[in-house]
Structure 1
Amino acid sequence: MTDLMPTIVTGFLGIFAGIFIGRRGVTDQAAVEHRQWLRGQRQEAYINLLDAWDAALAALEDVVDVWDDRVEEASRGDGFMEDFVELRVEAANQTLAKPLDRAALMGPREADVGVDAMDSTFDAMSASLNHQSNPDEPFEADWHSWTTLLSQPHRSRRVFMESAKTSLRMMPRPGPRRWDQPWWRPNWNGRGEG
């Protein structure tokens, strides 16, 4: 019996090693498949956000394009400019709100910077139009604040695109996502926290 003990111990060690390696392989495969699924969901959310962004900006620019006609109608008593602008801005906001929220939920943190930039830009443009249509506020005949805002949508879109490309180009793989993360602490942030 003592002659068989090394063989028995080696056999048990082989069984446990096989179970551990097999389980690790299944876990890694599940992690990769989940990350592939998440990557596809992010891509869909980002594309929907870009489409909604273009539609919302077009709606705001349409308000500016028909501004003179609407002001003329409002001066004749045919309509109220403030209500017209508020309805159009709210419709554009509703077009953009859900895709912005979905892209923010899908993450990662790098993409949140771009989503926040787009949200802030849209809020600033909406506020500018609401300010222009409010009869209690001074009207800017040269549209100075609006023209300064026109460069922000492109900048915000570029910030979002860079962050989205970074998150989408990261190929799913097992193990930690960054080289500086120790394998035993996958949520480690490098500062000893996590």
Structure 2
Amino acid sequence: MTEAWAAIIAAIAAGLFGVGGVLAGIYVGGQQTTAQAQVEHLQWLREQRQEAYVALMEAWETGVQGLKQMVEHWSDHEGDMERNHPDRFFSEFVDVRVQSLWNPIMKPGELFFVIGPEGMEEAVAALTVAFADASDFLRGQSSQPPGADANWQGWGAQLEQLVEARGTLVTAARDMMQTAPAPGK
């Protein structure tokens, strides 16, 4: 019976090791699948961030260019308003124009707040503040009485703030894009 017991014990041990091996394989395989799914999700999210960044930068460039053109053609716009809409204020035109430049920036900006990684919020907020400040500056200029010379001294500082905010976003986005997705991040 000793040989029989030895065979039984060996069979039980082999069975336990076999079951343990199967369980370990299932656990390790599950971990690999979870890690792979996480990496794939992070890669997808990174692509979404890249698309949102491109959309935001395109809208931003268009908006800033629009603000610059408003300033460049300020007296022409004032004259057009006086000739074609004497019953309306020039500030109304500026309000509508500034809002039309801001609206396309809002959607990708908000998307960045939703899907952007930590740290990007500050850069997008700086962009938002810079555009709002420049817009408010132009609104202030438009509230001058007709024929009054507007004070454009502050416009240079507004342009500098716009350029600085763009640079902050570019730097933050570059850092974000250069970080490869990895499980556990």
TM over 0.5: yes
- Structure-2 residue corresponding to 1:146: 155
The answer on 1:86 being equivalent to 2:98 is: no
For each residue in 1:6-59, what CA deviation from the matched residue of structure 2 results, as whole angstroms up to 9, or x when unmatched? 212211110110000111111111111111111111000000000000001111
- Structure-2 residue corresponding to 1:180: none
Please tell me whether the aligned partners of residues 141 and 150 of structure 2 are also in contact (alpha carbons under 8 angstroms).
no
Residue number among 159, 180, 183 corresponding to 1:171 in the alignment:
180
The answer on 1:95 being equivalent to 2:127 is: no
- Structure-2 residue corresponding to 1:41: 48
Amino-acid identity (%): 32
> Structure 1 60/14 Cα, relative in aligned 2: closer, same or farther at 3 Å?
same
Provide the TM-score with structure 1 as the length reference.
Answer: 0.83
- Code of the aligned partner of 2:13: P
For each residue in 1:133-186, what CA deviation from the matched residue of structure 2 results, as whole angstroms up to 9, or x when unmatched? 1247xx773312222111011111111111111111111222x33xxxxxxxxx
What SS does the aligned partner of 1:62 have?
Answer: helix
Please tell me whether the aligned partners of residues 118 and 157 of structure 1 are also in contact (alpha carbons under 8 angstroms).
yes
Please tell me whether the aligned partners of residues 43 and 181 of structure 2 are also in contact (alpha carbons under 8 angstroms).
yes
The answer on 1:26 being equivalent to 2:33 is: yes
The answer on 1:133 being equivalent to 2:142 is: yes
Q: Distance in 2 between matches of 1:154 and 1:133?
A: 23
What SS does the aligned partner of 2:171 have?
Answer: helix
Please tell me whether the aligned partners of residues 114 and 159 of structure 1 are also in contact (alpha carbons under 8 angstroms).
yes
- Structure-1 residue corresponding to 2:74: 67
Q: Distance in 1 between matches of 2:25 and 2:84?
A: 83
Consecutive unaligned residues of structure 1, counting only runs of 5 or more, are 178-194
1:98 Cα offset (Å): 0.7
1:76 Cα offset (Å): 5.3
Provide the TM-score with structure 2 as the length reference.
Answer: 0.86
Greater CA deviation, 74-83 or 112-121?
Answer: 74-83
Q: Which has the higher helix share?
A: 2
What SS does the aligned partner of 2:9 have?
Answer: coil
- Code of the aligned partner of 2:69: D
> Structure 1 125/15 Cα, relative in aligned 2: closer, same or farther at 3 Å?
same
Whose RCO is larger (CA < 8 A, sep 6+)? 2
What RMSD over aligned residues (CA atoms) do the two structures have, in Å?
1.8
